[in-house]
Structure 1
Amino acid sequence: MTRQAGSVDPWSQRLREGLQLQQQGLFDKAESIYRNVLAEQPQHALAWHLLGIAKAHQGSSREALRCFQQSLLIWPEDPVAYHNLGNAFKDLGCFEQSLEASERAIARRPGYAAAWSNKAGMLQVLGRHAQACAAYRKVLEFLPGDAAALGGLAQSLAALCDWKELQSVRRLVLNRFTAGQLAASPFDMLWLSGDPSEHRRCAKQFADELVASHRIPLSPAPSASCVKEGFNRPIRVAYLSADFHEHATAYLMAQVLEMHDRLRVKSFAYSFGQDSDDAMRRRLRAAFDEFREVRELADEDVVRRLQEDGIDIVVDLKGYTRGARTGILLRKPASIVVNFLGYPGTMGHPAYDYIIGDAVVTPFEHEAHYVEKIVQMPHCYQPNDGLRAISPETCRRSDEGLPAEGFVFAAFNNSYKITPELFDVWMRLLRSVPQSTLWLISDSEDVTRNLRSEAELRGVAAQRLVFATRKPLDSHLARHQLADLFLDTLPINAHTTASDALWAGLPVVSCLGDTFAGRVAASLLNTMEMPELITRSLNEYESLARELALDPVRLQTLKNRLMPKKSTSALFDAAGFTHDLESAYEQMMKFYLQGSAPQHFSVKEVRSHGAE
């Protein structure tokens, strides 16, 4: 600070006024006061710090970052400024820098629970789950029973497959949730619970807390410009995501975006993720009519840009997943807001009008579990890119550490989706199918060690679990030929992972759950016209997997049916999917233009009644 010790800060009263305005959610007025102080005293560290907090609440993370950096140049020993700097880096997706800032805060205040919490979260995002667990335990030393720390600890324990401690932590998290505390993110609730009513309640709690903490106004956008224009122009659709690069969502959506009928839809990308120059990024830039880089804009500025672009429908491709900018959507930035593809569940807030699903993942009888109105696609809700390349390379079992002989069960889902109950089933399969191997995917030595230890506890030799390392998509698809059968997970199914297996010609055995997340593989299989691979209980799932493993003729028959379907199934018909999606957008707009509230509808039924 520039003032002398013991001197009176002549700007303190004005800063207190700004802070009071900020606490009331009047961030623009607070910002004006802070800037006036800085105009008179540009070396006032606290004014820079408070301005950074105001900008962060406005969703302007880049400007907040600059403010905190300026504050620390003036007063480099402020642990709170380092903590807030870490939050700004986190919001910008700069996780290593966020971790470093949190560590600097802790070095200056070792008992700073909030900084420990951010450190734990960044370690988790970076995949350093064992270190994240240690940091979350540190938070719990300072704040016993802290709900957020318990939820984070549960997430990292699940990712590590450290089930001994997870059992007790999971119970604490769910007990707090039952008591009305927000103890887990909506995304984590997908694997913590198979109850769709709990998913909705958690999403609502999360959205309500986000709105309250950031004072987010629900300010509906001006009426869509096509109210005046009718359908004499394409519907203006904006897709919002941080994942317009080499990412699972991009792999699924790329061809759909390329095939939009420009007479029906004008497509806009609003990208708030990190910029990159990978092949997928270049492909997507060419696919959209307009590509907006908005990562450095505040939430309110993004809303303003959407409205200046005359957007009719905003499509959220992130939901409650890492890198989301939910604050933009909760402001209701367009006449119609759609939850699609990125998050398999309700967003829990009335700013969202529709969720796009299908008759399997979102049957109309499940409508009570969604705040949004359900739109059912005629086939599967999941788009797929029929241009995904499979490497022509020759794959050998020895290259993957697989035995030369014997049956190979593949289970390529992320490790957090594996539950002890499911693992029991898999181990019984290995014991009952001679010379069989379970092929998993993980780059973590901790996961490898934990799962092999769990296998031995269940009477299965550790070496019968083989772990694949991650590879580029075309090579990963190619190595599927080394497996005999794909085993799905529950309560969260394989999503993109399952469509990858089917595209590569590998049959998938799945168990139908009660939630969107637990019904995706069934939707994929149903669309592929292979419903005999869908089971309704873990006992049935285990029996079917065993029968197929012990009956090579029956399994080969399935594979022979599967391969030709790549060219005939609706699952990989991007042109047909795009046409259906455009019909869905048109029906949403028709309800809106008629002055009707959003309604549940099936695209297939709409067509059969001649609504087009």
Structure 2
Amino acid sequence: MMITVQALQGDHHHHQPQQLVGSAGVSRALSNADRVEPFTVKPEPTSLSLLPFNSHDTSEVDEDLNLTFAHQMYKTGNYKLALQYGNTVYEKNPLRSDNLLLLGAIYYQLHDFDMCIAKNEEALQIDPHFAECYGNMANAWKEKGNIDLAIRYYLVAIELRPNFADAWSNLASAYMRKGRLNEAAQCCRQALTLNPLMVDAHSNLGNLMKAQGLVQEAYSCYLEALRIQPTFAIAWSNLAGLFMESGDFNRALQYYKEAVKLKPSFPDAYLNLGNVYKALGLPQDAIACYQRALQSRPNYAMAFGNLASTYYEQGQLDLAILHYKQAVSIDPKFLEAYNNLGNALKDVGRVEEAVQCYNQCLALQSNHPQALTNLGNIYMEWNMVAAAASYYKATLSVTTGLSAPFNNLAIIYKQQGNYTDAISCYNEVLRIDPLAADGLVNRGNTYKEIAYKDSGHVEAAMNSYKKALLLRSDFPEATCNLLHTLQCVCSWEDRDKMFAEVEGIIRKQINISVLPSVQPFHAIAYPIDPILALEISRKYAAHCSLIASRFSLPAFSHPAPVPIKCESGYERLRIGYVSSDFGNHPLSHLMGSVFGMHNTKTVEVFCYALSPNDGTEWRQRIQSEVEHFVDVSSMSSDMIAKMINKDKIHILVNLNGYTKGARNEIFAMQPAPIQVSYMGFPGTTGAAYIDYLVTDEFVSPLHYSHIYSEKLVHLPHCYFVNDYKQKNQDVLDPICQPKRSDYGLPDDKFIFACFNQLYKMDPEIFNTWCNILKRVPNSALWLLRFPAAGETRLRAYAASQGVQPDQIIFTDVAMKNEHIRRSALADLFLDTLFFLFLLLGLYAMPILQAQISYGQVCQWLLFLLRKWLPGLQGSLCLATGLGDEMIVSSMKEYEERAVSLALNRPKLQAVTNKLKAVRMTCPLFDTYRWVRNLERSYFKMWNLQCAGQQPQHFKVSENDMEFPYDRLVE
């Protein structure tokens, strides 16, 4: 008779990791961690063939007795002792083929497959028709990975013995490894025809049925195997696999436990038992199971891989890296381990090593989707957008089931202003996963960005957020972005309740060290505690520091603190400006002349452009006037920081802050000894790596310094610069003046105006405007469709307050030059409140400056309610010398002043005349004077550095002795 020994052969399946995607508002794309799924093993038994023996010669009694002991030890699993008895027989009779067959089986169980093959080859030299030897050699070659050779040997064994059921069963296993499932199923059925009680064939047939999606048939096969042999551990393990894949982890747990109970040295079952524990959220139990698997099979690469993945998810990255490395050292072709090792290395900042791992994965499989996506993510972080997009597209060309590449392509398209393709990509994310709440929020954010061009997208954005909240009621990003979108269209139902909810969300996120769902730029527009706004900025600054740390740069060496223009000192102070807005952007409209106005005898200016050339006059002007202009838009953040440091910049100025296109991680790397925030972001950065904030004492008085992380530098008059004296002196030219009729404005009405974005309005200020309209006969309020979706809501609200329909006038947003000119058609500008408490948003400033600047008939009325911060508007008004006539101190006075000016035309004209008289001489429009004062602040910062003093608050005065703009203070 034949002795059949069951040996485990696994069909290894590793669930590939899916890329995690970012949530609402922060397209925290860039900003990236992968979920690592466990490997799943479907055991397939391999039958080893042994022969019985009968002794007839008394001279062979000792030889036969040793062979008997060898068989007994083999059956009990004591393979080392079995080997000793078998070798004793071999020493006495090396030509005994039955002993050679047994030795081959022993070596197989000891995983010495080369010796297994060698012993079977010796047996075949004695008996070339020994079918069992061909079968066992095939088993060994299969374990060595040469499946084609294994199949050839199985076929030889079957040719020699057509009724060789074990060979048919094992041939089925080999065909399964090659993916030839139909042939594998035929072989299993042939084996069962020859031996209906062959449990391994029943189990393998079950695996085949499962592979073809025939779950019920697979279930029946496993049950039949267990009916025949209830102690068949492999069938219990395969049965558990069915329940695990169906999500019934408790049943799977029960059956895997039965498998390892029956076969304590069953590494694949322990591996899968660990996977179940992992799925149930029991990582320590999972780790224990993986370690048991490794005790039975020390070179088990997948057990090392799964152990590593568990450590990874527990945040134990060093242990994860160690075990992933052990996995790939055992199995150099272990694709997923290379990919996941890359993820772990990236997370600890070893990005170059991570790239090597992803490339190794792609060298083994050029179309590996996760490795392609992960490389794309790294190139995104390096700001190599074209390369990143090529990897994401390559991912999509090889798979249809991953949402991450679509999500990340959407981020790129959104950054490029290609909103149509971005939305298409987010739609694909939702097609793949209709329950992806993150995808809904990200799509909503994209709709929100284009809402100002197409009002229909506002409703689409709100619908996306609402659907996300239906899927996940506790979804901070959806709640916060929904609130902001509702404010954009002046939908004020439950406004106070929603703001209270959002403030609670922010506080909770800060307490648990989660990046807040409200961005710093939005926080300054919300009626929230300024200390909370500071904490929001601090969290975002810490996030930028985290991004910077991933580049693993050593600390930079800075220029020595030596005074300018002194012996052995520097000839000039080197100032670097970093911005993504050198182009057609309000910042360049306001600061276009500043960079070329610096005194080149004492100051050397560098502009580092984070955005590519937009081909506009604004970009060309700055590029041609500044001493050094460097387009760094295609460079990674660490390369930019290295360049800045190499340029030996003394003072580096951040003109972005937390606005679109910013790359604050450059500043977090601290490439310059002094780093300053100015202009782009009207609030505190909350960053320890930003030393100073350039402001003025009206906007940021020292008694409010506790809500800033920076030291405050107070410029004289007004910290806000403009370029209208250089670029817009023709604004009052009668030839350029439009007529009210050009815009559908009535000639006979007194027109109040506000050209802010609608989200800056609130019920309190709009109610006041309604009161003013009702008190001033024949008056109207001129607003912008900014966005258009707010018009219907504001008209309905005004009607509910008793305002007549023709008293609310909306026009479309116009191009900058046209808008400045048509602003003169209004009689009195009414400002909003929120940005009075903080600082006026950058995007509104060109409009407001124009209305003050050249004494148009439109006056600017401010409400200055000193609850928190005085407004930038107040600072601007004071810089004209007419602050007392344009600033009020209460809501009541706000309403009364507006009504009074509207009803008293001579008084209004008097203020207009005063503005006309000072428009060319007041400090507000003297850009050259402002630049000199800014240089005074820079020299003060550097002189403090040279004196070994820490950054400190100071106020600049126009005093050359105390605040020179070209040398060290004597």
TM-score bucket (shorter structure): over 0.9
Instruction: Indicate if the aligned counterparts of 1:268 and 1:292 stay in contact, CA closer than 8 A.
Output: yes
Q: Which moved more, 1:566-575 or 1:590-599?
A: 590-599
Q: Partner of 1:142 in structure 2?
A: 471
Q: 1:309 & 1:107 partners in 2: Cα distance?
A: 49
Q: Tell me the equivalent position of 1:169.
A: 498
Match of 2:851 in 1: 501
Q: Secondary structure at the match of 1:141?
A: helix
Q: Could you tell me which amino acid in structure 2 is paired with residue 380 of structure 1?
A: C
| Mean CA deviation greater in 510-519 or 243-252 | 510-519
Deviations 1:268-326 (A, max 9, x none): 22222243111212112112222222222221121112112222221111111222222
Distance 1:530 1:163 in 2: 35
Q: Is the 8 A contact 1:45 1:75 kept in 2?
A: yes
**Post-superposition shift, 1:170?**
2.2
Q: Is the 8 A contact 1:220 1:334 kept in 2?
A: no
Q: Say whether residues 1:368 and 2:720 are aligned partners.
A: no
Identify which of 396, 400, 404 aligns with 1:80: 404
SS of residue paired to 1:163 = coil
1:152 corresponds in structure 2 to 481
Equivalent residue for 1:597? Answer: 950
Q: 1:589 to 1:387 in 2, by over 3 A?
A: same
CA distance in structure 1 between the partners assigned to 2:819 and 2:588 by the alignment: 17
Alignment partner, residue 665 of structure 2:
327
Q: Are the counterparts in 2 of residues 408 and 439 from structure 1 also a CA contact under 8 Å?
A: yes
CA distance in 2, matches of 1:371, 1:444: 34
Structure 1 residue 378 displacement after superposition: 0.8
The whole-number CA distance in structure 2 between the counterparts of 1:465 and 1:297 is: 49
Between stretches 394-403 and 546-555, larger displacement belongs to: 394-403
Following superposition, the deviation at residue 180 of structure 1 comes to: 4.2
CA RMSD of aligned residues (A): 2.5
Whether contact under 8 Å (2:373, 2:404) holds in the other structure is no
Corresponding residue number in structure 2 for 1:548: 901
* Distance in 2, Cα, partners of 1:16 & 1:219: 26
Q: How does 1:90-489 map to 2 (within 5 A)?
A: 90-92=414-416, 94-127=418-451, 128-181=457-510, 182-193=516-527, 195-212=529-546, 215=549, 221-224=556-559, 227=562, 231-385=569-723, 386-389=725-728, 390=731, 392-442=735-785, 444-489=787-832
CA distance in 1, matches of 2:736, 2:655: 33
Q: Secondary structure at the match of 1:408?
A: strand
More moved, 406-415 vs 82-91: 82-91
**Is 82-91 or 195-204 further displaced after alignment?**
82-91
Offset at 1:513?
Answer: 4.7
**Cα distance, 1:308–1:364 mapped onto 2, change above 3 Å:** same
**Which range moved further: 544-553 or 204-213?**
204-213
* Alpha-carbon separation, structure 1, partners of 2:503 and 2:914: 43
Higher RCO structure, 1 or 2 (CA under 8 Å, sep 6+): 1
Partner Cα separation in structure 1 for residue 867 and residue 715 of structure 2: 17
| Separation of aligned partners in 2, 1:21 and 1:280 | 43
Partner residue in 1 for 2:152: none
2:919 to 562, 566, 570: 566
Q: Equivalents in 2 of 1:260, 1:515: separation in Å?
A: 37
User: Does the CA-based 8 Å contact 2:578-2:656 persist in structure 1?
Assistant: yes
Structure 2 residue identity aligned to 1:32:
Q
Structure 1 residues 299, 548: closer, same or farther in 2, change over 3 A?
same
Deviation at 1:414, TM superposition (A): 1.1
Q: Tell me how far 1:37 sits from its aligned partner.
A: 2.8
Alpha-carbon distance between aligned partners in 2 of 1:31 and 1:114, rounded to the nearest angstrom: 27
TM-score normalised by the chain length of structure 1: 0.94
Alpha-carbon deviation of 1:525?
0.2
Task: Measure the CA separation in 2 of the matches of 1:93 and 1:63.
Answer: 18
Change (3 A) 1:368 1:606: farther
Deviation at 1:54, TM superposition (A): 2.8
Stretch moving more, 362-371 or 195-204: 195-204
- Report how far residue 596 of structure 1 moved: 1.5
TM-score of the aligned structures, taking structure 2 as reference length:
0.60
What is the Cα deviation at residue 537 of structure 1?
2.0
User: Which one has the bigger helix percentage?
Assistant: 2
| Cα distance in 1 for residues equivalent to 2:458 and 2:488 | 7
- Give 1:463 deviation, angstroms: 2.2
1:199 Cα offset (Å): 1.9
2:792 counterpart SS class: helix
Letter of the 2:522 counterpart:
D
- 1:521 is the counterpart of 2:873: yes
Partner SS for 1:191? coil
Decide which moves more: 38-47 or 168-177. 38-47
Deviations 1:536-592 (A, max 9, x none): 222221121111111111111000000121101101001100111111111111112
- Contact between 1:357 and 1:377, CA under 8 Å: does it hold in 2? yes
Pick closer, same or farther for the CA change 1:530–1:422 going to 2, 3 Å: same
Aligned: 1:36 with 2:360: yes
Bigger shift: residues 161-170 or 526-535: 161-170
Provide, for residues 191-222 of structure 1, a one-character-per-residue CA deviation record: whole Å limited to 9, x for no partner: 11254222212211222244447755796532
Tell me how far apart the structure 1 counterparts of residues 437 and 784 of structure 2 sit (CA, whole Å).
34
Closer, same or farther: CA 399–91 of 1 in aligned 2, 3 Å: closer
Residues 48, 479 of structure 1: alpha-carbon distance in 2 compared, 3 angstrom cutoff: same
Q: Which amino acid aligns with 1:178?
A: R
Bigger shift: residues 19-28 or 255-264: 19-28
Q: 1:270 to 1:435 in 2, by over 3 A?
A: same
Does the 8 Å CA contact 2:562/2:570 hold for their aligned counterparts?
no
Of stretches 602-611 and 140-149 in structure 1, the one that deviates more from structure 2 is 602-611
The alpha-carbon deviation at position 360 of structure 1 amounts to 0.5
> Quick check: 2:609–2:632 contact (8 Å CA) kept in 1?
yes
Gaps of at least 5 residues in structure 2 are: 1-15, 17-176, 180-210, 212-301, 303-332, 452-456, 511-515
Q: 1:530 aligns with which of 882, 905, 913?
A: 882
- Aligned partner of residue 67 in structure 1, secondary structure: helix
Shift of 1:69: 1.9
Distance 1:605 1:123, change over 3 A: same
In the TM superposition, residue 362 of structure 1 has moved relative to its aligned partner by 1.2
Contact 2:561 2:945 in 1 (8 A): no
The one-letter amino acid of 1:582's match is: E
Worse-superposed segment, 275-284 or 487-496: 487-496
CA shift, 1:226, in A, is: 6.4
* 2: CA distance, partners of 1:76 / 1:308: 45
Rounded to whole Å, the distance in 1 between the matches of 2:390 and 2:865 is: 47
Max Rg structure: 2
Aligned position for 2:233 = none
Tell me the SS of whatever aligns to 1:434.
coil
What is the alpha-carbon distance in structure 2 between the residues aligned to residue 86 and residue 343 of structure 1?
A: 26
| 2: CA distance, partners of 1:575 / 1:81 | 49
SS in 2 for 1:266: strand
**Farther-moved stretch of structure 1 (289-298 vs 225-234):** 225-234
Percent of paired sites with the same residue: 27
Equivalent pairs counted in the alignment come to 610
Write the mapping of 1:53-92 to structure 2, written as runs, cut at 5 A.
Answer: 53-92=377-416
With 370-379 and 225-234 compared, the bigger mean Cα shift is at 225-234
Task: Name the CA shift for 1:138/1:327 in 2 (closer, same or farther; >3 Å).
Answer: farther
**1:92 CA drift (Å):** 4.9
